[in-house]
Chain A
Amino acid sequence: MAAQGRHGGRKSNKMTALVVDDNMVNQTIHHRLLDNLGIENEAVSNGKEAVDIHCSGKTFDLILMDMDMPVMNGIEATRKLREMGIRSMIAGVSTRSMEREVQEFMEAGLDDYQVKPLTVSKLISIIHKING
């Protein structure tokens, strides 16, 4: 999937991703996992920052969205991004595993959901859904 450049023009064929997580340990791990797979990525610390970065004109092939975050949580952020017309693959990544909680997150507009911790194989299965 070709990536949008920062100013909207096509710059490269490298996949791009946005990590949305308030925890620095998780941000660092997810950043490295994505780097390892050759995916250009950046990180923000809550749902509002994820929305704001899209409002600034940036888009990403993949968004890894945590659920529990301050200011704006993952459910609200996912809903907001979908309302804005963002069609990127959004994968929820959270420690929550109760069916009701996951369903609420999925209904907000997720394409996939993975229970933390994120691993190489979970990330690859998310990426296959983009390409598949």
Chain B
Amino acid sequence: MDVVNQMQRQFVDYSTSLHREGILDDQFTQLQKLQDENSPDFVVEVASLFFEDCEKLINNMARALEQQGVDFKQVDASVHQLKGSSSSIGAVQVKNVCIAFRSFCEAQNREGCLRCLQQVTHEYSLLKNKLQTLFRLEQQILAAGGSIPVIE
């Protein structure tokens, strides 16, 4: 049980650090609270959908920004989508970049948009790595017969 306690402490510390670093906000905690024995994989399922969504939208933005005549409305539509889903999952850094990104779309500033695209790609990769680590810690706890601590 010492091993399980240690893993649980590690999970709590890691989860807390993600909030403290401003990578995740309270919305993610709300999603964790929706997970129960009836839907034990809910958070992983939502995160996977988010990752797929992100990749698709980032590709759309990149393609649109490569065009000779950039269709900023099209870029903005993708950024708006990404802002929505990042906000729903609690991915606050991704969401914040999207807010700035939308301003550059409105100003039809291609350089600004390209910088934001780079930033959003970076924030998304960072978030994906961190969440995959968090989910691995969860799996280790469950495999050792423990339960996932509730983070308030």
Contact = CB atoms under 8 A, between A and B. Distances in A.
Given A116-B84, A118-B88, 17 more contacts: A23-B81, A24-B49, A24-B53, A25-B49, A25-B53, A28-B45, A29-B88, A32-B42, A35-B39, A68-B80, A95-B83, A95-B84, A117-B88, A117-B90, A119-B30, A120-B33, A120-B34
A100 B99 CA distance: 19
Contact of B85 (A25, A118, A119, A120): A25
A25 B34 contact: no
A116 B88 contact: yes
Interface residues of B, number: 23
B50 interface: yes
Interface in A87-132: 95, 116-120
Contacts of A118: 88
26 contacts: A23-B81, A23-B84, A23-B85, A24-B52, A24-B53, A25-B49, A25-B84, A25-B88, A28-B46, A29-B34, A29-B46, A29-B88, A32-B34, A32-B42, A33-B34, A36-B34, A95-B83, A95-B84, A95-B87, A116-B84, A116-B87, A117-B27, A117-B90, A119-B27, A120-B30, A120-B33
A28 B45 CA distance: 9
Q: Name the prevailing secondary structure of the B interface residues.
A: helix
A25 B52 CA distance: 10
Interface string A16-40: 0000000111101100110110000
Nearest to A22: B81
A38 to B, nearest CB: 12
